[in-house]
Structure 1
Amino acid sequence: MIAIIKVAGQQFKVEKDQTLFVPHIEGKTGEAINLDVLLAHADGKLSVGGAIATKVSAEIVDHIKGDTVIAYKTKRRKGFHKKKGHRTAYTKIKVTNIA
């Protein structure tokens, strides 16, 4: 069974026992969460939108930060430059069940 879920405005295609990195979700490690399902496909049947009776359960595995992204600004001939960086927060989840 395959489902397309929506997490923090992004869509992900998931299957059972799959692990993936999604934008940061509040919760503790090991906590179970339920995710919004947009589309589900099983046994040749396709369910879309409000007609979906499918639920995706997942477990929070870890909270991590991504690679450093550097933002460098400068203005020519003025001697102005500014260097900033940030690391985006991600949550690693494992899909436990698609029912």
Structure 2
Amino acid sequence: MLAVVKIAGQQFKVQEGQSLYVPHLQGKTGDKVEFSDVLFVDNAGAVSVGSAVKATVKAEIVSDLVQGDKVIAFKMKRRKGFRKKHGHRTHYTRIKIESIA
């Protein structure tokens, strides 16, 4: 079974048993989360799209806070002495899909 689910404004293609990193969710390790905004479901060739989808995706939080790679934003104007360096590390949550029902 395959589903496309919207999590924190981004779309993810998920299957049962899959583990993935999503934008940071509130909760602790071991908590159960449920996503009801499912956009597409493929169940052994039976495809449901849009408002015809009546499914929810249930998952468990494996790691509650994972930091991504450092991203550097560097601005510079030549011959002016202007240099500005900003950096950040995006926070993610690792979840494991338990069921698509």
TM-score bucket (shorter structure): over 0.9
Report the Cα offset of residue 19 of structure 1: 0.1
Matches within 5 A, 1:1-99: 1-35=1-35, 36-62=37-63, 63-99=65-101
Percent of aligned positions that are identical: 57
1: CA distance, partners of 2:33 / 2:53:
18
Q: Where in structure 1 do 4 or more consecutive aligned residues deviate above 6 Å?
A: none
Name stretches of at least 5 consecutive residues in structure 1 with no aligned partner: none
Q: TM-score, with normalisation over the residues of structure 2?
A: 0.93
1: CA distance, partners of 2:7 / 2:44:
25
Q: TM-score, with normalisation over the residues of structure 1?
A: 0.94
Aligned pair count reads 99
2: CA distance, partners of 1:28 / 1:49:
31
2: CA distance, partners of 1:85 / 1:43:
45
2: CA distance, partners of 1:89 / 1:48:
31
